[in-house]
Structure 1
């Protein structure tokens, strides 16, 4: 898959995910607006019903007093003087001077009396409290609801949450939450001048509305999170597979090159041996036979490395645990690598400070591990390698450090050097050979021995590989 195709897929998936997120956010916003509107309507209806209850309660009192007055006063002779005072609210029914009060006339007087009362006397606080509570419960309104009665004539609050306010407590500056609220209805609205308002304020309104849609929000976030997680994982797998494919391609190219050279050498040596000019000379035959043997051993070593990693892949690694002296292992490995370093004008120095240096491990694998580190230090060093190998005792084990003054590595390279088939980019240098399996093998063997491996490196200044092995295995 090409880089362009990968970027196109990433772009399409990102666009789709962003579209889903935006749609979900819009749906959540719409849901909150609808729930807020329903909440506002429910609170407003509760206030209207409570105000209507007060008006009906007062009207019932007036009706009761009017009916009582009609039954007791309908046959009384009020006399001329009374007629003079009540001429505006009475009706003459006969010529004998007897006046009968008109029911509507008395009702008007009662209504005027109620209208002239202070608002605080007209509002039954207990009835208002009970009615509001019932309305709130019936409307399923969650959260506390603050309410108050505002006297429009006195320009102050007279009741707050069923409690009559004192002169100081009635100050509107103490009730700005109610004063600025949109929840309000007129009390006794049928009169010419509205005597007051019933107001309410919900301090938990936003919380209540959010709680009504939180499960939708959580579900949306969960599903979007799953989509994002799958998307990120998919992209990771694509990029990883692409990287792995590139490393395997490099591995095949390197392996082909590594095998091509000895095969060509063996072919030339074989042709030389069968040549009549060489076949009759035992010394030349022996010389070319040794070349064939060395190149064959070189190919066998390369194949062995690949087979070792294949065994590790299939978890077929069986450690033959014995007592291993790491000082001896380091000394033997240093002697071997010196044969390659010294012809290049380099040097290998050992600092064996560990005492004791004996650990429980597999002799073969530990030797291969140290040889791989030294071979790596040699390959990534300039023309005159300077390699230092040291051992020292640490808590519960022995530490082996291989330091070179070679090319060094970037931070990105340090993250990937233990990946299989990965090889550090060497710029214009093309003489660094290998399959990219050495450090992966080193890490695998270290972990198989319950050890740890760390790397310190700076580009252009060299690298240090620190491997620690415990004295005993579990």
Structure 2
């Protein structure tokens, strides 16, 4: 897939995801505003209904007193109205029923006036107020602790809060600024000129209550957006990984073609030479070309073996033949092998077998192949005169094998990907570094199946060190 196509897909998916997030944000914000408006209306309605009930209760008391007076039950009226009616004329003293009817409007007016003259704290039935408010809050499904209080306009102080009578000190408005500044209020006992007081409410947890109403939708939105985002990131990762894998496989095929082409050409040339009449008569020349054919055949066989080994690792078919392996012997033998390639280039190989004990439990074939791969890698990525040091030493976890070179070194990016299959370090203008990019992937796999560890220390232009540690025993 082309970079332009990947960029276009990434851009479209990013814009779409941001659009979904923006739309969800607007929907949630709109839902919050709607729920807040409903909450405000419900709380204000609860206050209005309670205020009307208080006024209706007082009007009922006045009506009962007036009706008792009208029916000639002066004593009953006096009892109902209490001290407010004790100075009013009794029905029997002022001329009978006709006088009662003519006096009724005046008596009701006097009752209303005397009720209005009472202190607000005496006009409010706190138990009735608390009961009606709690019922109204429950009916309106108003959750959370709602504070409420009654404010006396004449005395400029609060007379009760949450159904409790306030003392003179506790009525100080400074102690109830939350209620005083609240927008939830309704006037009590309105007259043509003013109101006797206010019924106020305040919701300290209003924000959290409203937020809880959309919490489930918010969590669901976040969950689905997270799933979409995760799938989006994973998709981009897979696309980039597949692109990288495709490029590495293409590079692998090109390298493999090149690796096989050279020995095939050499074998073909040697075969043609043997068939030449000038060569067939010379046994020395025949043996020379036959030796070349054998070497090139072995070279091809080694390359095929590497590919087959990785195929076995892919299918988990690797069976270790565990024996006691002396790593000092392994690096000495491997050093002799790589020295044959390094010395003709003017380089040197130093072997330092310092580990004692040096034996570990492992597969001899794979451990030897691992060390040879690392030495071959050090040789390939070194300048014209390779300087390679291979050593062993004991560490608390086992035996450590170090392969040090003074070659090209690696960048941080290369160190991150060096063990990836088919990955090969870029060598700039150098095009003589051959291989499939499988060697170090094989090294890491063999190290891990032996329960060991591997790390790299490298710097561009200063060479690299591969440090491999193997445990003494397999677990």
Instruction: Output the TM-score relative to the length of structure 2.
Output: 0.92
For structure 2, list consecutive stretches of 5 or more residues without a partner in the other structure: 75-87, 89-93
Distance 1:139 1:251 in 2: 73
- Give CA deviations for 1:93-140 in whole Å, capped at 9, x if unaligned: 99xx97964211111111111112221111111111111111111122
SS in 2 for 1:47: helix
1:289 paired to 2:290: yes
In the alignment, is the contact (CA less than 8 A) between 2:457 and 2:466 conserved in 1?
yes
Q: What does 1:4-43 align with in structure 2 at a 5 Å threshold? A: 4-43=4-43
Range with bigger deviation, 453-462 or 351-360: 453-462
Cα deviation, residue 420, structure 1: 0.6
- Give CA deviations for 1:280-301 in whole Å, capped at 9, x if unaligned: 2222222122111111111111
Distance 2:56 2:349 in 1: 107
| Matched residue, 2:212 | 211
SS in 2 for 1:188: strand
Distance 2:101 2:318 in 1: 121
Range with bigger deviation, 319-328 or 289-298: 289-298
Q: What does 1:183-194 align with in structure 2 at a 5 Å threshold? A: 183-194=184-195
Q: What does 1:325-340 align with in structure 2 at a 5 Å threshold? A: 325-340=326-341
- Give CA deviations for 1:230-254 in whole Å, capped at 9, x if unaligned: 1111111111111000000000010
| Matched residue, 1:54 | 54
Cα deviation, residue 387, structure 1: 1.4
- Give CA deviations for 1:125-168 in whole Å, capped at 9, x if unaligned: 11111111111111221110001111222222221111222222
| Matched residue, 2:427 | 426
Q: What does 1:352-371 align with in structure 2 at a 5 Å threshold? A: 352-371=353-372
CA root-mean-square deviation: 1.9
Alpha carbons of 1:353 and 1:99: their partners in 2 closer, same or farther (altered >3 Å)? closer
SS in 1 for 2:52: helix
- Give CA deviations for 1:248-307 in whole Å, capped at 9, x if unaligned: 000001011111111111222222222222222222222122111111111111111111
| Matched residue, 1:381 | 382
| Matched residue, 1:465 | 466
Cα deviation, residue 192, structure 1: 2.6
Q: What does 1:41-190 align with in structure 2 at a 5 Å threshold? A: 41-72=41-72, 101-190=102-191
Range with bigger deviation, 439-448 or 175-184: 175-184
Distance 1:130 1:46 in 2: 12
In the alignment, is the contact (CA less than 8 A) between 2:36 and 2:210 conserved in 1?
yes
SS in 1 for 2:427: coil
Distance 1:101 1:403 in 2: 123
Paired residue total: 456
| Matched residue, 1:90 | none
- Give CA deviations for 1:344-375 in whole Å, capped at 9, x if unaligned: 22221222221111111110000000000111
Cα deviation, residue 71, structure 1: 2.1
SS in 1 for 2:318: coil
In the alignment, is the contact (CA less than 8 A) between 2:147 and 2:162 conserved in 1?
yes
SS in 2 for 1:250: helix
| Matched residue, 1:391 | 392
Distance 1:6 1:407 in 2: 33
Q: What does 1:298-313 align with in structure 2 at a 5 Å threshold? A: 298-313=299-314
For structure 1, list consecutive stretches of 5 or more residues without a partner in the other structure: 75-85, 87-92
Distance 2:397 2:407 in 1: 31
Cα deviation, residue 411, structure 1: 1.6
SS in 1 for 2:429: coil
SS in 1 for 2:201: strand
Cα deviation, residue 225, structure 1: 0.8
- Give CA deviations for 1:196-237 in whole Å, capped at 9, x if unaligned: 111100011111111111111111111111111111111111
SS in 1 for 2:317: coil
Distance 2:235 2:150 in 1: 62
Instruction: Output the TM-score relative to the length of structure 1.
Output: 0.93
Distance 2:390 2:48 in 1: 91
